[in-house]
Amino acid sequence: MIWGLLLLCVAGAFRAIHAVPLRKTSKIEVKAAPQEEVNVLMFGVIQFSESLNYAFENTEAKIDKLSKTVTTREGALQQLEKQTEEAVEVEKQMKEVIQLLQAQMVNQQAQTMMTKDWLARMEQEEVELKTKVKRMETYINNAFPSSIKELQEKAEEHSSVLKILQHFTEFQKQNIETNDEKLSTLQKMSDDMS
Q: How does pLDDT run across 70-114, given as a tens digit for each residue?
A: 999 998 999 999 999 999 998 899 889 888 888 888 888 888 888
Helix and strand numbers (H, E) in the chain are 3, 0
Separation of alpha carbons 182 and 184, rounded Å: 5
DSSP characters over 27-67: S----PPPHHHHHHHHHHHHHHHHHHHHHHHHHHHHHHHHH
Query: So where are the chain's domains?
Result: 2-17+32-193
- Let me know: does 10 contact 45? Beta carbons within 8 Å: yes
Task: Report whether pLDDT(193) > 80.
Answer: no
CA-based torsion, 15, 21, 27, 31: positive or negative: negative
> Within 13 Å of residue 129, how many CA atoms lie on the same side as its CB?
16
Q: Position 14: which residue type?
A: F
SS3 24: coil
Interval 10-55: pLDDT, tens: 555 555 444 444 455 555 555 666 788 888 888 888 898 888 888 8
Give the count of alpha carbons within 13 A of 21, CB side only.
2
Give CA–CA dist 111/127, Å, rounded: 24
